[in-house]
Amino acid sequence: MADADMEKLYYSIGEVSDIVGQEPHVLRYWEQEFDALSPRKNRAGRRVYTEEDIATVERIRYLLKDEQYTIAGARQAIRRDSARKEVRDDLRALRGFLEKLRNNLREKGA
């Protein structure tokens, strides 16, 4: 029996539509317009959205509906967000490496 607190791995387009308050045809249109949004398809060819996909849809919806961005403007904002995330991830990896190096040097008495 599944635990009610367990997070789902995949959501259907109908479920995502309900979550973000947009019709399925709008979500399909956004897939065409935004490279960052590309849910996988299951064996039956139906879209399956992950939590990350849903976060992207919510970001797109926010930019277009709440902030009144154009499609082109929202595309640029999504790209900026992605670039910032990459830089942040790189900096975290560098910090981890430097901390490990510092700890190794301390252990060796340098």
CA atoms within 13 A on the CB side of 64: 18
What are 30-60's pLDDT values in tens digits?
999 999 999 999 999 999 999 999 999 999 9
91/68 Cα distance (integer angstroms): 32
Evaluate if residue 6 carries a pLDDT over 80.
Answer: no
Structure confidence at residue 23 (pLDDT): 97
Structural domains in the chain plus CATH codes: 13-107 (1.10.1660.10)
110: confidence class by pLDDT, cuts 50, 70, 90: low
Of the pLDDT bands very low, low, confident and very high (cuts 50, 70, 90), residue 8 is confident
- Hey, what amino acid is at 96? G
pLDDT tens-digit series, residues 66-87: 999 999 999 999 999 888 888 9
- Pair 68, 77: CB distance under 8 Å: no
For the chain, the average pLDDT equals 92
